[in-house]
Amino acid sequence: MKKNLIILISLIAVVLLLHSTPQTALRTYVFFSGYPIIAFTTDIVDDEYHNRVDKEKFKELNGKAYTLTKPPIEKATQGELRNYLVRKFGIFHYVEFYGEA
């Protein structure tokens, strides 16, 4: 029983650490999307354009857009996966691909 509790607490701590900041949440998302090298090597910057244009929408969603400086290339369409929306829920950050929209 003690061993199971320690494992559960460890898993919760790992999830909390991987989603505690927008940058780590974004790197985790890119890593598990199949681009582990890019997740560790790319820089993450604020997406000034989308944050300015969609300011009201992001305020409602409690989110902010970020851009990868060296984005992964999607294999099927050869498109760049550059822009992401990071939303905050309590202490966790949730990432979704935002595209060029």
Note down the domain range covering 78. 2-97
What pLDDT score does 15 carry? 83
- pLDDT of 101 higher than 80: no
pLDDT tens by residue, 44-58: 999 999 999 999 999
For residues 56-64, average pLDDT = 93
- Cα 99–chain centre separation: 13
Band (78; pLDDT cuts 50, 70, 90): confident
Task: Take residue 68 and report the two structure tokens written for it.
Answer: 């990868």
The structural domain count of the chain equals 1
34 DSSP assignment: T
% helix / strand / coil in the chain, to the nearest 5? 45, 25, 30
Outline where 1-101 has alpha helix (H): 2-18, 22-32, 36-41, 48-53, 55-61
